[in-house]
A and B are shown apart, each in its own frame.
Chain A
Amino acid sequence: MTTKEMTSQLEEALSRWEAQTLRPTLARLPERMAEFTTTSLRPIKRLYTPLDVQHLDFEQDIGFPGEYPFTRGIHPTMYRGKLWTMRQFAGFGTAFDTNRRFKYLLEQGQTGLSVAFDLPTLMGLDSDHPLAEGEVGKCGVAVSSLEDMEVLFDGIPLEEVTTSMTINAPAAVIFAMYLVVAEKQGADWKKISGTIQNDILKEYIAQKEWIYPPAPSMRLIVDTIAFCTQEVPRWHPISISGYHIREAGATALQELAFTLRDGIEYVEWCVRAGLDVDAFAPRLSFFFNCHNDFFEEIAKFRAARKVWARVMRERFGARDPRSWMCRFHTQTAGCSLTAQQPYNNVVRTTIQALAAVLGGTQSLHTNALDEALALPTEFTAMLALRTQQIIAYESGVVNTVDPLAGSYFVEALTSEMERGCYEYFEKIDAMGGMIAAIERGFPQKEIQEAAYRYQQAVDRREQIIVGVNEYVLEKEPIEVPILYIDESVAEIQKERLRRLRARRDTAKVQRTLEALKEAARGTENTMPYILECVRAYATLGEICDALKEVFGEYQEPPF
């Protein structure tokens, strides 16, 4: 029988089922809603059949894990060989406080570190800057100088752990601090491994912690990538992030498309700077969100690998298979957590984490139940980690690779995601690339629109959120104890900075800062100059300010 004959036979069978079985049922018992949609408000059909996946070719589109197009995973054995890295994002208070939390998490079986910095640090401001007031140590750890970084990793051998650092606008400076701590520990830069987020495009799009305008920001990123290929070959110099794009309200498709298009922009800039694509592409990594809609999220992850593989091979002509692989970290969706009945968040996070694992993530952060109220306590942080351990060791989902492949529904959704990505790529390419699109507010407006539509759907109870617009309790049954950061952190930081500034060799600090400015004005790689500033104990704020003098500051256009 030919494919065409099979198709028409199936279509007939489907029509027969609809007439004989479905219609009488609908007449007797109508469906609960006129339209069923995902969390991203994408309509979902009642039933998926082989007709929905007949455009797919098994070998070309689905294939085998560890091989192009990697739809089923980047590794041939996936979690049978090695479980994902359980990497809980942590940081609060002073470097002393966070160092203690890191050691606690490592004792609990966590396999990688992930540093959350406070807002002043993310903005390149020292803890004693006037704008830092009230923010020091609040949503992450305060790091103003090499001295803080030394405390943060005290007693943690950097050759043995992998460390992810969520830092963007000042990423080069924080990375330099980490490298100098490694140097002082006697660790070999060639052996240390980890990630800096270093993704400024999603800052302009969603998270909005920027310092410099796009062009010099991109130059700093290219500098760190080029530096890593030579000096820190096992480091991931960028984590191209959809997480914050999703948190800002994007749909699953927008998250995927904008993130991969950001990735394209970085690759273009690196290639234009003269780097060989296969020299750096294997070290690129991605970071996605995992929201509530189970199958939509799994489809998103599978499509991410497939689209990125094709982009790298066809658009950029990469030849090394490692350049084609989309390796990613996942965090469950912070924006899905509710302040109401916060214990329900454990259940939400479990479903999201399971989707991330079925989607083939390389590492995972699970949110703690109290994160719609404050930073996690030691207990809730442990429970979040235990959630991952239960999925890994008790659920059985790790026993086979990509267990949902071949599901008519999941494969059809994966294809839709893939097609949607290419449509967004075309639009953004036509605008002249991602930076041009950002300058005209395109992704920002798309996200705002999606955020509003979603909130309206919640308000109209088209999207039910348990405990929020349904099953609401007048009084919360259990109080959640929370972690409270007081202003003593800021006082400690101010005093440490005062002493540091008095103790260090001021002339040397000035010399290294001047040398950095000179390098920034030219075309040399800035990393070696930033490292010199850090070694002289120039502060984060001083180094970022020196670069501001040369690069200027970004102003968001109104839209």
Chain B
Amino acid sequence: MGERKIRVLIAKPGLDGHDRGAKVVARALRDAGMEVIYTGLRQTPEQIVTAALQEDVDVIGLSILSGAHMTLVPRVMQLLREKGLQDVVVFIGGIIPQEDIPKLKALGVAEVFLPGTLLEQIVHAVRQGVKRSLETSE
């Protein structure tokens, strides 16, 4: 059986329009052989989780630079659980204060990428995250 490509949803929740990082990461993951869907700007947590369900993704990457992460991320995580998507690996990229990182991880976020993260680190982390998620669900 041919190995299924990793499917990733890159999403921008909240009001901020800074999509440079989201687009660069989307392209890097695509270049690394993954299927990437980009939601576009200003998606609500509901829209993001619906897209994740419809697109049957393994990974969600949330890009947030506005400081609204402690409002938006808990809601995304809760909706994922409600829809039975707790196996989906969630990454966050953006301007996130250090003290919020453990709180986000406690919510189930796999990793938080700050400005200055190399693309290779993100690609590697996504692959590892999916691998771990498959192992635990099997």
Contact = CB atoms under 8 A, between A and B. Distances in A.
A482 B99 CA distance: 9
A464 to B, nearest CB: 12
A134 B19 CA distance: 19
Contacts of A15: none
A133 to B, nearest CB: 6
Contacts of A558: 40
B34 interface: no
A519 interface: no
Given A452-B24, A459-B119, A372 B114 contact: yes
B116 A208 contact: no
A119 B15 contact: yes
A119 B66 contact: yes
A375 B70 CA distance: 16
Interface stretch (A336-344, A361-369, A492-500, A529-537): A336-344
A362 B20 CA distance: 28
B72 interface: yes
A245 to B, nearest CB: 11
A451 B28 CA distance: 12
Contacts, number: 108
A123 to B, nearest CB: 6
Interface of B is mostly: loop
Contact of A459 (B68, B95, B98, B120): B120
Given A139-B67, A459-B119, A558-B40, A134 B72 contact: yes
30 contacts: A119-B15, A119-B16, A122-B15, A125-B15, A131-B44, A134-B70, A134-B72, A135-B15, A135-B16, A138-B66, A138-B67, A139-B67, A203-B17, A208-B18, A209-B17, A247-B20, A248-B20, A339-B116, A340-B114, A372-B114, A372-B115, A373-B97, A374-B67, A375-B67, A451-B23, A452-B24, A455-B24, A459-B119, A467-B116, A484-B97
Contact of A468 (B28, B98, B118): B118
A375 B137 CA distance: 40
Given A123-B15, A135-B15, A448 B67 contact: no
B116 A468 contact: yes
A485 B114 contact: no
B40 to A, nearest CB: 7
B127 interface: no
A448 B30 CA distance: 15
**Max count, chain A CB within 10 A of own CB: residue among B24, B96, B114, B120:** B24
A135 B40 contact: no
Nearest to A340: B116
A485 B14 CA distance: 16
Contact of B95 (A340, A373, A458): A373
Contact of B116 (A247, A372, A485): A372
Contacts of B65: 139
A207 B24 contact: no
A456 interface: yes
Given A131-B15, A135-B14, A138-B68, A451 B95 contact: no
Nearest to B38: A558
Given A134-B72, A373-B98, A484-B97, A469 B118 contact: yes
Contacts of A338: 115-116
B22 to A, nearest CB: 11
